[in-house]
Amino acid sequence: MHRLKSGFTLVELVMTIVIIGIVAGILAPIITQTINAYSDTEIRMELTARGRLALERLAREVRQVVPNTVRELNSGQGVEFVTSKIGGRYMSQKDGFSNSKYQANRRFRKNANMTNLYVLGAEYTNFINTDMLVIYNDSESVLNDRSSRITNVVAKDRDNDDNDNNEDTGNKEVQLLTFSSQKWSVEPASQHFQIADYCHDIGVTSNALYWHRTFAGDTSTNQFNTNCSDGNANWSDTDLILVSSESLNATFEYLPTSLTSNAILKVTLTLTEGDESVTMVQEMHVRNTP
């Protein structure tokens, strides 16, 4: 009885190895390219997500800017602006409130030293002593002349508005702002005011976009903080990082149509990791009507 032999010969083994080597040589570049493409896509997605988050965060702040406080810094490598927490309409001498006991010296008066002002519909409840009252800032050069540091906020109604700053009883129709003495030389038809809360400087240092933020008001001078709209790059590597990458470049282009109309802040952000680079451009609307 003959036993069946199994296995393979040396020639068959060599031929199999050669064939596998040929197939591997053909498939290796395809597999490597696919793996690299996936890795590159992951890097680009990560860069895009980081860049988009930074631009969205910046855009939210820009929507709240005090008119005419945006300024390019470092030849477009940075930007500065002042933001507001709330705004509304103030009461002027010409406003008619029948049977009203609202006091004349607490309504807006042009070219008069004022320390109080009635405001309408603001719901200003988160007051801090570095908040700044801004009225008709139509130029970056007049910010301190059109503003004053707020020292107190109380609710008032027309039937019980006495001469103190205590909160009255009854239905509260207005709020009374108390602030350091200021004289406004203009009387805007809009009767609009804003409460500024922070000054922002944002710019590039060492492949990172830094965000420097300070309170708007200076309690020692009752004016804006000296870092506010001063034209200087006040950020540093000790500030909050808005976004960073192996290589980063950002440019800011401010395009005002006029000092009392709308404007555009164009931000171009380029992030690079290894051989992968992503560039994003966003145009942010700036309301410049004071």
Which pLDDT belongs to residue 168? 47
- pLDDT of residue 163 exceeding 60, the answer is no
The span from the CA of 94 to the CA of 162, in Å, is 21
Given a cut of 80, whether residue 284 has pLDDT beyond it is yes
Q: Is the pLDDT of residue 8 over 80?
A: no
Mean pLDDT of the chain: 87
Residue type, position 137, single letter: N
Reply yes or no on whether the pLDDT at 4 is more than 70: no
**Residue predicted with more confidence, 115 or 18:** 115
Note the pLDDT tens digit of each residue in 47-59.
999 999 999 999 9
Please choose, from the candidates 166, 215, 174, the residue with its C-alpha nearest in 3D space to the C-alpha of residue 195: 215
b/e for 256-271, b at 16 or more Cβ within 10 A?
eeeeeeebebebebbb
H or E element at residue 17: helix 10-62
Mean pLDDT of 252-261: 80
Judged against a pLDDT cut of 60, whether residue 108 lies above it is answered with yes
**pLDDT tens-place string over residues 200-236:** 999 999 999 999 999 999 999 999 999 888 889 999 9
DSSP per residue over 39-75, as a string? HHHHHHHHHHHHHHHHHHHHHHHHTTBPTT--EEEGG
